[in-house]
Amino acid sequence: MSKHYPIQYPRRTISRAVLRQLTGRLIHLLGDLQITGLEHVPASGPVILAANHFNFVDPPLVLYASPRMVEFIGGANRPNSPMWAQMIPQTWGFIRAYRGGFSRSTFRESLGVLAQGGVLGIFPEGGSWASLLRPARPGLAYIAEQSAAQVVPISITGAEDLIGGPKRPVRIAFHPPLAAPVITSKRTRRQALDAFGDEVMSVIAQGLPNAQRGKFSSDADARAAALAVSDFPFHSDEMRGG
Handedness of CA 28, 30, 32, 35 (dihedral sign): negative
Which tens digit of pLDDT belongs to each residue from 11-36? 999 999 999 999 999 999 999 999 99
Mean pLDDT throughout 142-162? 96
Measured on CA atoms in the order 41, 178, 104, 4, is the torsion positive or negative? positive
Q: What is the pLDDT of residues 176-216, one digit of tens each?
A: 999 999 998 888 999 999 999 999 999 999 999 999 999 99
Measured torsion, CA atoms of residues 230, 129, 99, 177, in degrees rounded to the nearest 10: -70
Q: How far is the C-alpha of 75 from the C-alpha of 178, rounded, in Å? A: 25
Counting every residue, how long is the chain?
A: 242
* pLDDT at residue 237, as a whole number: 47
The amino acid at 201: M
pLDDT tens digits along 67-76? 999 999 988 6
Tell me the average pLDDT of the chain. 90
DSSP 8-class letter at 3: P
**Domain range 13-204, CATH architecture:** 3-Layer(aba) Sandwich (3.40)
Domain edges within the chain: 13-204
Nearest-5° Cα angle at 80, 74 to 81: 70
Q: Which residue type does 180 have? A: A
pLDDT in tens, 46-86: 999 999 999 989 999 999 999 999 999 988 665 555 665 66
Determine the Cα–Cα distance for residues 199 and 203; give it in Å rounded to an integer. Answer: 7
Q: Residue by residue, what is the 3-state secondary structure of 114-126? A: HHCCCEEEECCCC
